[in-house]
Amino acid sequence: MLFADLFFMFAFLPLCFLFYFMFKSIKVKNCVLIIFSMIFYASGEPLKIFMFIFSIAINYYLGLWMDKARGTKICKFALWLALIYNIGMLGVFKYTDFMINNINGIFSTSIPLLKIALPLGISFYTFQILSYIIDVYWEKVPVQKSFHKLLLYISLFPQLVAGPIVRYQTIAEEIDDRKTTLNDAFEGFVRLIIGLSKKVLLANNLNVLVQNCFGENISQASITATWVGVIAYSMQVYFDFSGYSDMAIGIGRIFGFHFDENFRHPFMCRSISEFWQRWHISLGTFFRDYLLYIPIFGKRRAILSLFLVWFTTGLWHGASWNYVIWGLYFGVFIFIETKIGKKNLKKVPTVLMHIYNKLVILIGFGIFKFENMSNLGNFFKNLVGANSNELINNITKDAISSHIYIFIIALIACFPIATYLKKRFENSNPFSNSIAVVCVTVFAILLLMIDTTVLVKTFSSNNPFLYWNF
Are 313 and 324 a contacting pair, CB within 8 Å? Answer: no
Residues 6+ away with beta carbon under 8 Å from 307: 328, 331, 335
Torsional class of 359: left (φ above 0), alpha (ψ -120 to 50), beta (otherwise): alpha
Would you put residue 298 in left (φ > 0), alpha (ψ -120 to 50) or beta?
left
Catalytic residue among 280, 317, 354, 403: 317
Cα–Cα distances (Å) from 40 to 122, 128, 381, in that order, read 15, 18, 44
Distance separating alpha carbons of residues 160 and 152, to the nearest angstrom: 10
Q: Which own/partner contact pairs does 410-414 have at CB distance under 8 Å and 24+ positions apart?
A: 410/202, 410/206, 410/232, 410/235, 410/239, 411/235, 413/198, 413/202, 413/239, 414/235, 414/238, 414/265, 414/267, 414/268
Euclidean distance between CA atoms 437 and 434, whole angstroms: 5
Q: How far apart are CA 288 and CA 429, in angstroms?
A: 42
User: Is 317 an annotated catalytic residue?
Assistant: yes
**What radius of gyration, in Å, describes the C-alpha atoms of the chain?**
23
Q: Which residues are catalytic?
A: 317
